[in-house]
Amino acid sequence: MFKSSVVKSIQLGRFMPVGSVPRMLSSSSRNMSVFDELKNSESATKKNASTIFDIDELIANSPGLQTNHELGSNYDSYAFGNTEKHPRDVAKELSLTGTQAGRTVEVKQGNVSQSLKVLFRLLRDESIISMKFRQKRHLRPALLHDRKHRLWWRKNFAARFSELLGQVRDAKRRGY
């Protein structure tokens, strides 16, 4: 059994557990509620007022204290309460859908607005949003070929046209 210490919280004025607490596991495959664990625990024997309690056993059998330690995090291991959320909880609260979901950018020095700009620049550079709209519907192979040819022509027309204008300017400069 894991050892844990109890520290008196300065702010709250009550005892709080510090350290990792083992969760009682059941051998059955069905999901058991916390109250079923309390009913079926080995420590459910009759105890009188003179019985000495083990702090680990008390914490393991109290439903309110198990929720903080189910994730195996050390984010609530301080005596001052929950000062920082677990990353899984933060990720569950995010409702990122669409083309932004699944893209990763680095947040440097806590600058979220700059990171969002980088994210949208990434989406624009890789033309992810336009690909999403193009892939919504199925196109027959002949129509797909025509669309690809049209897009290729539109993309290359500007480059070739500017190249042609450059040749005309050179010819004018030389006196033709």
Q: Which two tokens stand for residue 84?
A: 């920082």
Whether residue 99 is contained in a domain is answered as no
Does 149 lie in the same domain as 130? no
Does 49 lie in the same domain as 128? no
Does 129 lie in the same domain as 53? no
Does 66 lie in the same domain as 47? yes
pTM: 0.33
Per-residue pLDDT at 133:
85
Provide the domain limits for residue 131.
104-137
Q: What is the pLDDT along the chain (176 residues), one digit of tens a residue?
A: 444 444 433 444 444 444 444 444 444 545 556 566 556 655 555 555 555 656 667 667 766 655 554 545 554 555 555 567 777 777 667 666 676 777 788 888 888 888 889 988 988 888 888 888 888 889 999 999 999 999 899 989 988 999 999 999 999 999 98
Does 108 lie in the same domain as 62? no
Does 44 lie in the same domain as 10? yes
Whether residue 156 is contained in a domain is answered as yes
Cα–Cα distance between 69 and 8 in angstroms, integer? 19
Task: Please count the other Cβ atoms lying within 10 Å of the Cβ belonging to residue 47.
Answer: 10
Cα–Cα distance between 173 and 64 in angstroms, integer? 85
16 strand-pairing partners: 7
Whether residue 76 is contained in a domain is answered as yes
- 33-39: which pairs have CB atoms within 8 A and are 24 or more residues apart? 34/63, 34/66, 35/63, 37/61, 38/63
Per-residue pLDDT at 112:
86
Does 58 lie in the same domain as 24? yes
User: Of how many residues is the chain composed?
Assistant: 176
Q: Which two tokens stand for residue 145?
A: 């070929």
Does 146 lie in the same domain as 131? no
How many domains is the chain partitioned into structurally?
3
Per-residue pLDDT at 65:
57
